[in-house]
Structure 1
Amino acid sequence: MADAAKVLVTGGVRSGKSRHAERLLSELEPVTYVAAGPTFDDPDWQARVAAHRDRRPPAWTTVETVDLESAVRSAIGPVLVDCLGTWLAGVIDEERLWDAPAGDVDDAVLSRLAGVVAAIGDATQRVVVVTNEVGLGVVPEHRSGRLFRDLLGTVNQRVAEACDEVHLVVAGRVLVL
């Protein structure tokens, strides 16, 4: 990875994406780890953030937010964002958009996404972003699942355009795309 490289790490759930992303920055300190997810009190989310925090070097700082643009822009040193899927769910929750017309959801998410993509593109430090790869299987039965799948596909494409590399992680194996 070059000094200012931006990498998008994608793959399925529990594929090893986060561990791979952490390894990409493991030699650097301090790293800002952005836990991008729910802004409400969620015990499962808190447990996941704590597990990730426990396995990272103590010099890494954890920021929990859905304001990715500000988190990336204000970070001093390398940044690890984990993950775009939880960020997307957090944005839809925060804006109360799960039942909104699809166009309204797209407008709200894509507006926030534009700032995130610009912040990644403008960054002079290393930025590693983790995301989930969705849409490879069954079409979700519920509208919310289809909405999420479609939007995350768009989010992933736009962030990939701002990155130098995309790494696909499957069963702990990494393929650089």
Structure 2
Amino acid sequence: MAGPVLVTGGVRSGKSRHAESLVSQADSVTYVAPGPRPDVEQDPDWSARVALHRERRPAHWSTVEGVDLAAAVRSARGPVLVDCLGTWLTGVIDAAQAWEASSEEAYDLVRRELDGVTASLRERADSGQGPTVVVTNEVGWGVVPVHRSGRLFRDLLGVTNQAVAEVCDEVHLVVAGRVLVL
């Protein structure tokens, strides 16, 4: 694996487990868990998911949490696993309090943040610092969300996924635990 790899798929499709397997043989891995902000109260279901992911990670992996994904990717040495762009996007929108912003303002905000993320992924690939695996969700295949915030998130994540896929060498689609390299 030379350049970044984007791992995408539906909820509970096996994306994270597959992404972890791509770096599992490394002596050390930086696991980047971007957003939501730690000061935001989490619901019990979300907290349980986070705990499950933490328990599954090997003890020799280091974890970086926070919304500044570009900085986390730039500062990491060796293999990096980012899980996931959906939580990063939520954190970006939360931090800017942009859920009620116009679509144009929200797109501009995300595009500015994405420029830094994609630049950091390119820099890592060019520097040969080790593999980078980025996990994301495919949310546009289901029902149209009833609420504006859901539609905004769906659309912005689609834009985010396209921008990140553009700088990746491979995209892996995970469906029902099966992996298709696109």
Measured against the shorter chain, the TM-score band is over 0.9
Aligned position for 1:157? 162
Give the structure-1-normalised TM-score.
0.95
The unaligned stretches of length 5 or more in structure 1 are none
Q: Is the 8 A contact 1:53 1:62 kept in 2?
A: no
Alignment of 1:18-167 (within 5 A): 18-39=16-37, 40-44=40-44, 45-123=46-124, 124=128, 125-167=130-172
Give the structure-2-normalised TM-score.
0.92
Rounded Cα–Cα distance in structure 2 between residues aligned with 1:62 and 1:49: 12
Between stretches 10-19 and 35-44, larger displacement belongs to 35-44
The unaligned stretches of length 5 or more in structure 2 are none
Alignment length, in residue pairs? 175
Query: Percent identity over the alignment?
Result: 67
Cα-Cα RMSD: 1.2
How far is 1:29 from its partner? 2.1
Q: Is the 8 A contact 1:139 1:146 kept in 2?
A: yes
Q: Which runs of at least 4 in structure 1 moved beyond 3 Å after TM superposition? A: 43-47
Rounded Cα–Cα distance in structure 2 between residues aligned with 1:21 and 1:51: 15
How far is 1:51 from its partner? 1.5
Matched AA of 1:108:
L
